[in-house]
Amino acid sequence: MKTIYDPQTCAGVIARIEALEPGTTPLWGKMTAYQMVKHCRLWEEMSLGRTTYPRAFIGRIVGRLALARVLSDDRPLDRNTPTLPALIIREEGDIAQEKAAWIACLRSYGDKPGPGIVHPFFGRLTGEQVGAMAYKHADHHLRQFNY
């Protein structure tokens, strides 16, 4: 399974982010390119343990089962998967600045899994699970914008 801790995989994600153009129309969903990039940057900060969000009630019930399904293989995340309300971005801004911040987050993972986090939906994730989810999440949104 691909992981953000693999230097080549991380470099590939970064190259896709750098190629993303402002004004690109998504293949699905309602986010603009800027909103997606900021959403992903905030998601990375959560995955790196820099910010936390309260557990969602539904996640306490089905989160572990959903995590097992998501991490069972290399399939991309499903289109239009719900997101944490705190990570829904409504404003517009400087996409270049957000791209740089997202890339800085990705580079800060390094090449070895960290201690893990408590995800607001999935619950406790190991460092290895964080690495796989970080890749899948970034890939999902870059695919959303055809990158």
pLDDT for 1 equals: 93
Reported confidence tier of residue 14, pLDDT bands at 50, 70, 90: very high
- Lookup: tokens for 61: 């019930």
In a domain, 13, yes or no: yes
Residue 44's domain comprises: 7-144
Question: Model's pTM, two decimal places?
Answer: 0.96
Cα four-point dihedral sign 15, 147, 2, 4 = positive
Domain count, the chain: 1
Tens digit of each residue's pLDDT (9 = 90 or more) over 32-47: 999 999 999 999 999 9
In a domain, 2, yes or no: no
Q: Are residues 31 and 99 in contact, defined by beta-carbon separation less than 8 angstroms?
A: no
In a domain, 1, yes or no: no
Q: What span, in angstroms and rounded, lies between the C-alpha atoms of 118 and 77?
A: 20
- Lookup: tokens for 39: 């959403």
Compute the average pLDDT of residues 124-135: 98
